[in-house]
Amino acid sequence: MRIVAGTARGTRLDCPRGEKVRPTPEMARQAIFNILRDDVLGATVLDLFAGVGTVGIEALSRGAAWCVFVERSNAHKLYLERNLEHCRVADRADVLVRDVFRCADVLAKLGRPADIAFVGPPFPLLQDPSGRAALMALLDEFAERRLLKPGCVVILQHDLRDPIPESTSHLRAAGRRSYGRNVFTLYEAV
């Protein structure tokens, strides 16, 4: 697994073996950043369910000003911090070891509202109707609390079979892209 483009292009990222972490594949990551294009330059990025930081580090490599990573696993945090150092972008990152569902107050205290938010939850969370509803309600709360700037692009990674809503009270659908089993639903925060 490598960084696809930017200042850290070609840098290999450390990742634990097994299926505890599901990094976004290089081809899918390339496609998402092709959609975002210049929106990444100077952006503040929020990487929820960050794992080892693949997407957020890719954004920093491509010119994002800052990235806030939220990952609840201490073991994954160690990989994430090592990857940030290895890619020489640690000086532009906050790493929060928190459950995504309990991080809103800490995000508010940081005072870094997101221009781009990447949400890559474990697939089982979205396959459960109550988990899916809780995640969408959380994203609405983030928008309502201005943790997502108006116009923020929210990219939700999910399985092809997951019934993801077209919109919510604070998110408007902006498109959908499929790459094998990985689907990225794009929303705009309103």
> Which residue(s) pair with 159 in the sheet?
182
Query: CATH no. for residue 64?
Result: 3.40.50.150
Q: Is residue 108 part of a domain?
A: yes
Rg of the chain in Å (alpha carbons): 15
Measure the CA angle with vertex 47, ends 140 and 49; round to 5°. 85
Does the residue 17 lie in any domain?
no
Task: Give residue-wise pLDDT tens across range 111-128.
Answer: 999 999 999 999 889 999
**In-domain check, residue 78:** yes
Averaged pLDDT, 164-186? 90
Residue 160 pLDDT > 90, yes or no? no
- What confidence tier does 67 reach under pLDDT thresholds 50, 70, 90? very high
Dump pLDDT digits (tens) for 130-149.
999 999 999 999 999 999 99
- Asked if residues 70 and 50 have their Cβ atoms less than 8 Å apart, the reply is yes
Among candidates 131, 120, 102, which has minimal Cα distance to 52? 120
Structural domain of 107: 30-189
Q: How confident is the model at residue 17, as a pLDDT?
A: 73
Query: Residue 48 falls within a domain, yes or no?
Result: yes
User: How much is the pLDDT for 23?
Assistant: 62
136 belongs to a structural domain: yes
Q: What is the pLDDT of residues 10-52, one digit of tens each?
A: 899 988 876 555 566 677 788 889 889 889 999 999 999 999 9
Does residue 24 belong to any structural domain of this protein?
A: no
Give me the torsion for CA of 158, 163, 164, 169, rounded to 10°. Answer: -160
147 and 168 in contact (C-beta within 8 Å)?
Answer: no
Q: How many domains does the chain have?
A: 1
Burial class (CB in 10 A: 0-12, 13-18, 19+), 25: middle
Residue 22 lies inside a defined structural domain of this protein: no
Tokens of 186: 């794009």
| Over residues 81-95, mean pLDDT | 97
Cβ neighbors of 177 (< 8 A, separation 6 or more) are 31, 32, 35, 183, 184, 186
Quote the pLDDT of residue 66: 98
Residues 6+ apart with CB under 8 A from 67: 44, 45, 46, 47, 56, 57, 59, 60, 89, 92, 93, 94
User: 25 lies in a domain?
Assistant: no
Least reliable range by pLDDT among 62-66, 106-110, 159-163:
159-163
